[in-house]
Amino acid sequence: MLFKNLWLIGLFCVLVLPSATMHRQKPALTPQNPPPSPTPRTEEQEAVRIFTEEVRLPVVAVDQFGHYDPTLEADDVLVLEDGVAQQIKSVQRLPANVLLLLDVGNDLGLKNTNVTRDVALRVISLIHAGNRIAVMQFAARPELLQSWTDDKEKVAKTLKTQLHSGKTSRLSDAIAAASDQFKDTPPGTRHIVLISDGVESPGGRTTLISSLKQLNSIQATVHIISYTVLARLQLENRNSVVSKGDGVQRDGHPGSNPVANGDPTLPPGTTRTPSFRVGSIDLDVAMRRKRKEYERATRESETRLKDIAEESGGQILLPTSSEELASEAENVARDIGSQYIVTYRPKRPLADARAGEYRRIEVASRRVGLYLRSRRGYVVPITQ
């Protein structure tokens, strides 16, 4: 009987003890020793990583007549990044975020705030419904008049009631402030409509170089309606001979030949040889110098504005009259409405880029009769 009991105890130890040993060897689940992450978490992390590696490139697509092409497909687009062809992932149309950046500085009276307002009103009336719009004016400082909204009537009311003129014009500060407004908008849908002569008044808080770096980092398309040519034409008119004297010159002498003096019907000593007076030249030397400096500044600013527009994939428009200035709103609205968002994953990972690295972009059409335009390049975000 004793032998039988010992045999049963031994059998119990064989069956139970290994299981208890295995249980003791399993680590305890404590905050210092959490369980391994499940597989779905890994897949989620991979999805986020892929998303951050995606470049969203705004591309304007038009036909040979400059009209929007509604048939753009991925196979129609060739994108080169630093000379290397990229694999297009998608081509899509998305609602745009359009910031109206309006220069209301008017020191010399060559920019008209009412005309600027009319142009802005025309732009918002022509862009498609569903796009979001904001309004910022600038003179001595930038001022946000209307935050983002898709209510076009609300924007129109803001333009009609809140726009007001100033004297100085600090474009660099305005560009920096405008760039800040796009922090919460998706890349590829950002547009700035700048109406200005681009002439910078001194005393701003931001340098032009700094503001342009900030502008490039947000990758917004910049559409510019420039006052530069119109302002120079107005200066030329002010500096021309615009009126005459009374037509009678009284510097003759008695006995002079009236025929030789130009008109036999006049008494001796007079003539109809016209005497001119300068009608609009301001004899104030300081004012003449100021106008001369402004004319030179418009030529320099025009070059800068052209570079800003082309770098971003936009255009600069140079009207020669107030009427033409207002009509350019149609071209801006057409440009915004002709834009697609082309996405691709760079063959050279963004994660491998240096902070603030610039990558050059070239876009070409693979289809006859299709014309594409995009930005010249982009700055890799510092967060990558």
Place of tokens 């922090």: 183
Given its phi and psi angles, is residue 367 left (phi above 0), alpha (psi -120 to 50 degrees) or beta?
A: beta
CB 196 within 8 A of CB 165: no
- pLDDT of res. 55: 93
pLDDT at 267: 56
Look at residue 290 in the predicted model and tell me its pLDDT: 87
d(CA 370, CA 70): 11
Q: pLDDT tens for residues 184-214?
A: 898 889 999 999 999 999 999 999 999 999 9
Radius of gyration of the chain, Cα coordinates, nearest whole angstrom: 35
CA distance 92 to 57: 11
pLDDT in the model for residue 199: 94
* Cα→Cα distances 207→47, 176, 180, 202, Å: 39, 9, 15, 10
User: pLDDT tens for residues 297-353?
Assistant: 999 999 999 999 999 999 999 999 999 998 999 999 999 999 999 999 999 999 888
Which residue's structure tokens are 């982009």? 378
pLDDT, position 236: 85
For 368-379, the pLDDT digits (tens) are 999 999 999 998
What is the pLDDT, as a whole number, of residue 179?
96
Confidence at 289, pLDDT banded by 50, 70, 90: confident
Q: Look at residue 65 and tell me whether its pLDDT is greater than 60.
A: yes
Give first-to-last CA distance, the chain, whole Å: 78
Q: Percent of the chain, pLDDT > 70?
A: 74
Distances (CA, A) of 131 to 208, 281, 351: 29, 47, 32
Task: Give all domains of the chain, ordered by start, each with its CATH number.
Answer: 57-236+283-379 (3.40.50.410)
pLDDT for 297 = 94
Which tokens sit at 207? 């340098």
Under the banding of pLDDT at 50, 70 and 90, the label for residue 356 is: confident
At residue 10, the 3 state secondary structure works out as helix
Amino acid making up residue 22 = M
Res 49: pLDDT: 38
Residues 6+ apart with CB under 8 A from 134: 97, 98, 99, 100, 144, 146, 147, 148, 149, 181
Q: Which two tokens stand for residue 244?
A: 């005459």
pLDDT of residue 24: 40
Tell me how far apart the alpha carbons of residues 130 and 154 are, in angstroms, rounded to a whole number: 14
pLDDT score of 6 more than 50? no
State pLDDT tens for residues 233-285. 998 887 664 444 444 444 444 444 444 444 555 555 555 444 444 455 555 78
Residues in Cβ contact with 145 at an 8 Å cutoff, skipping those fewer than 6 apart: 135, 136, 137, 158, 159, 162, 163
Share of the chain above pLDDT 90, in %: 63
Over 70: is that where the pLDDT of 21 sits?
no
Q: pLDDT band at 100, cuts 50/70/90?
A: very high
pLDDT at 286: 82
DSSP secondary structure, 68-84, as one string: B-TT--GGGEEEEETTE
Cβ-proximal residues to 281 (8 Å cutoff; 6+ apart), any chain: 238, 239, 288
Give the model's pLDDT for residue 115.
94
Q: Where are the alpha helices (DSSP H) in the chain?
A: 2-25, 39-52, 113-126, 152-162, 171-180, 208-218, 228-238, 285-312, 322-337
What are residue 125's DSSP bridge partners? none
For 124, phi then psi, to 5°, come to -70, -25
Query: How is 177-237 classified by DSSP, letter by letter?
Result: HHHHTTTTS-TT-EEEEEEE--PPPS--SS-HHHHHHHHHHHT-EEEEEE-HHHHHHHHHH
Cβ 97 vs Cβ 147: under 8 Å = no
**In the chain, what's the furthest Cα-to-Cα distance?**
171
pLDDT at 101 over 60: yes
Alpha-carbon gap, residue 380 to 269, rounded angstroms = 81
| Residue of 208, 207, 193, 201 whose CA lies nearest to 105 | 201
| Sign of the alpha-carbon dihedral angle for 23, 25, 26, 29 | positive
Q: What is the pTM of this model?
A: 0.75
- What pLDDT does 187 receive? 86
Residue 309 and residue 222 in contact, taking contact as beta carbons nearer than 8 Å: yes
